[in-house]
């Protein structure tokens, strides 16, 4: 029984590390895109956080939520529910990573005019920066 609990505990810790790594990658990509060309954000809570127009607030919110969730999983790591929760978190973030791959591929040919048109017509399009997107304002399309 003790051996099984140690194995479960190890799996939960490994999964939490994977969750943290994928969350860091998500934050990096989000900040990269949201401060350069903009991006679709389907999560209304995340859009509300981005409305503050602050990369620091976004990073603090993302980091804080990940720390709280990881902390809970680590505290209860010997329970079966922790392992189930950690696997669920990894699956969701794995799906998110695949979504990033698709988004990056789809936007690789995007120019600043297309980003401007999207930002005017799509309410889920978010950008952190001062003023509208315009050529020559120091914002670039991510390659």
Instruction: List phi, psi (to 5°) of 130.
Output: -100, 120
Domain contains 31: yes
Domain contains 140: no
Domain contains 139: no
Both ends of the chain: CA-CA distance in Å? Answer: 52
pLDDT tens-digit map of 68-107: 999 999 999 999 999 999 999 999 999 999 999 999 998 8
Q: Which residues contact 75 (CB under 8 A, 6 or more apart)?
A: none
Q: Which residues contact 77 (CB under 8 A, 6 or more apart)?
A: 8, 9, 12, 13, 16, 83
Q: How many residues does the chain have?
A: 143
Domain contains 41: yes
Ranking 29-33, 56-60, 112-116, 117-121 by mean pLDDT, the lowest is: 112-116
Domain contains 57: yes
Sign of CA dihedral 81, 60, 138, 34: positive
Q: How many domains does the chain have?
A: 1
Q: What domain range is 120 assigned to?
A: 2-126
pLDDT tens-digit map of 13-40: 999 999 999 999 999 999 999 998 888 8
CA distance 94 to 91: 5
* Share of residues in the chain with pLDDT > 90 (%): 61
Contact 14, 101 (CB under 8 A): no
Domain contains 132: no
Scan for tokens 């790594």, then name that residue. Answer: 21
């Amino acid at each position: 029984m003790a051996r099984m609990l140690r194995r479960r505990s190890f799996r939960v810790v490994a999964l939490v590390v994977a969750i943290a790594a994928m969350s860091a990658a998500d934050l990096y990509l989000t900040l990269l895109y949201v401060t350069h060309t903009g991006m679709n954000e389907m999560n209304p809570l995340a859009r509300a956080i981005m409305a503050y127009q602050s990369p620091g607030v976004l990073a603090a919110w993302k980091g804080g939520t990940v720390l709280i969730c990881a902390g809970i999983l680590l505290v209860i790591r010997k329970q079966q529910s922790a392992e189930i929760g950690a696997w669920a978190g990894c699956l969701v973030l794995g799906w998110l990573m695949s979504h990033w791959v698709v988004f990056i591929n789809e936007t690789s040919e995007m120019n600043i005019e297309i980003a401007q048109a999207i930002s005017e017509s799509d309410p889920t399009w978010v950008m952190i920066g001062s003023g509208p997107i315009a050529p020559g304002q120091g914002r670039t399309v991510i390659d």
